[in-house]
């Protein structure tokens, strides 16, 4: 008999709530044997299961704290951001390579997963060649390289992580979260057409094909990366939009969580 060991993976959303509170929340009469203030969680399944409460999109249940803590690990904090501990865990597994770009003051840094896949790229440069300092250059390049994954939406990070394992074309994350200043610069230079970019909120990443130790912008490679990203997104039940599918301003390296599924309130400027 073939006995394989399996592990259960299911994404849920949970709110601390004791047994009495949960029964009140459901508008249920408290069962006699459950008349206590046992700690636990209101757990909402994010797997598309049939809802059983008008305020929740997925089915909700109550789980005692011990059972919940033993089975689930937080992948976001209460504000829906990837918690620093998870980023630290990811970063602690990475290995780095540095190189000075020939004839320039640019230092490049690449980060790799233990299986050799490249997941990040960052550059630093100093204005005057006379001031080139290898150690400092490497330090700044590494910071930029790691920053590419920081601030990226928690639903997007696992898609990238999974896609890296199934893609036929190796790729690297060249940009994730972007500052308003940088977006303004990109719009001015014509590299971006909008101040409404999903990069500003961490809902987008740019991926670059990685072939023979360098970034390759050949368009056919991006179809293959897009295949891997779409396949990973499907597996994780998260919708994804590829910039290469856009009718205008096709953007091969760009992947984002769609506005329809991930809306955010527009920040209105005053004055
Ligand atoms: Zn982009």
What is the secondary structure of 16-71 as a DSSP string? E--HHHHHHHTTPPPPGGG-S---EEEEEE-S-PPP-STT-SS-EEEEEHHHHHHH
Residue 7 in 3-state DSSP? Answer: coil
- Per-residue pLDDT of 148-161, as tens digits, reads 666 788 788 889 88
Collect all residues with Cβ–Cβ distance below 8 Å to 71 and sequence separation of at least 6.
Answer: 8
Kindly state whether residue 225 falls inside one of the protein's structural domains. yes
The Å distance, Cα 116 to ligand 1 centre, comes to 24
Kindly state whether residue 193 falls inside one of the protein's structural domains. yes
**pLDDT of residue 79 exceeding 60:** no
Q: Are residues 159 and 223 in the same domain?
A: yes
The Å distance, Cα 92 to ligand 1 centre, comes to 26
Q: How many CB atoms lie within 10 A of CB 119?
A: 25
Q: Are residues 200 and 263 in the same domain?
A: yes
The Å distance, Cα 215 to ligand 1 centre, comes to 16
In this predicted model, which residue has the larger pLDDT, 270 or 189?
189
The Å distance, Cα 164 to ligand 1 centre, comes to 18
180 neighbors 202 (Cβ within 8 angstroms)? no
Residue 117, burial from CB neighbour count under 10 angstroms (0-12, 13-18, 19+)? middle
Kindly state whether residue 107 falls inside one of the protein's structural domains. yes
- Per-residue pLDDT of 45-58, as tens digits, reads 877 788 899 888 88
| CATH code of the domain containing 170 | 3.30.1380.10
The Å distance, Cα 95 to ligand 1 centre, comes to 25
The Å distance, Cα 241 to ligand 1 centre, comes to 11
The Å distance, Cα 51 to ligand 1 centre, comes to 35
- Per-residue pLDDT of 184-241, as tens digits, reads 888 888 877 777 788 887 889 999 888 887 788 899 999 999 999 999 999 999 999 9
12 neighbors 43 (Cβ within 8 angstroms)? yes
Kindly state whether residue 81 falls inside one of the protein's structural domains. no
**pLDDT of residue 68 exceeding 60:** yes
Q: Are residues 61 and 106 in the same domain?
A: no
User: In the predicted model, what is the mean pLDDT of the chain?
Assistant: 79
In this predicted model, which residue has the larger pLDDT, 128 or 153?
153
Q: Are residues 97 and 227 in the same domain?
A: yes
Q: Distance between CA 210 and CA 167 in Å, rounded?
A: 11
Q: In the predicted model, what is the mean pLDDT of residues 245-257?
A: 91
Last residue of a domain, one of 24, 50, 74: 74
Domain ranges, residue 22: 4-74
**pLDDT of residue 4 exceeding 80:** no
The Å distance, Cα 123 to ligand 1 centre, comes to 17
Q: Distance between CA 110 and CA 123 in Å, rounded?
A: 9
The Å distance, Cα 255 to ligand 1 centre, comes to 7
* Number of folded domains that form the chain: 2
Kindly state whether residue 79 falls inside one of the protein's structural domains. no
Percentage of the chain modeled with pLDDT above 70? 80
**pLDDT of residue 266 exceeding 50:** no
Helices marked H in the chain: 19-25, 65-71, 84-92, 134-147, 157-166, 180-189, 219-235
Kindly state whether residue 84 falls inside one of the protein's structural domains. no
Kindly state whether residue 106 falls inside one of the protein's structural domains. yes
The Å distance, Cα 82 to ligand 1 centre, comes to 20
The Å distance, Cα 149 to ligand 1 centre, comes to 13
């Amino acid at each position: 008999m073939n006995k394989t060991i399996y592990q259960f993976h299911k994404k849920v959303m949970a709110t601390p709530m004791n047994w009495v509170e949960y029964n009140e929340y459901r508008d249920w009469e408290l069962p006699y044997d459950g008349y206590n203030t046992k700690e636990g969680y209101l757990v909402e399944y994010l797997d598309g299961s049939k809802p059983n409460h008008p305020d929740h999109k997925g089915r909700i249940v109550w789980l005692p704290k011990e059972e919940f803590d033993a089975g689930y690990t937080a992948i976001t904090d209460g504000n829906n951001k990837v918690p620093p501990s998870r980023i630290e865990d990811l970063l602690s597994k990475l290995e780095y390579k540095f190189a000075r770009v020939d004839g320039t003051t640019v230092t490049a840094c690449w980060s790799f997963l233990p299986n050799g896949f490249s997941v990040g790229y960052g550059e630093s440069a100093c204005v005057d060649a006379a001031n080139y300092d290898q150690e400092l250059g490497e330090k700044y390049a590494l910071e930029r390289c790691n920053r590419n994954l920081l601030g990226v939406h928690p639903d997007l990070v696992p898609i990238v992580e999974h896609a890296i394992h199934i893609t036929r074309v190796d790729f690297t994350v060249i940009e994730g979260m972007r500052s308003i200043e940088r977006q303004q610069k990109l719009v001015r230079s014509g590299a971006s057409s909008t101040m409404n970019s999903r990069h500003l909120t961490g809902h987008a990443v740019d991926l670059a094909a990685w072939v023979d130790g360098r970034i390759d912008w050949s368009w056919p490679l991006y179809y293959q990366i897009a295949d891997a990203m779409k396949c990973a997104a499907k597996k994780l039940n998260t919708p994804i939009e590829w910039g290469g599918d856009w009718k205008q301003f096709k953007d091969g390296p760009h992947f984002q969580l769609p506005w329809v599924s991930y809306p955010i309130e527009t920040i209105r400027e005053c004055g």
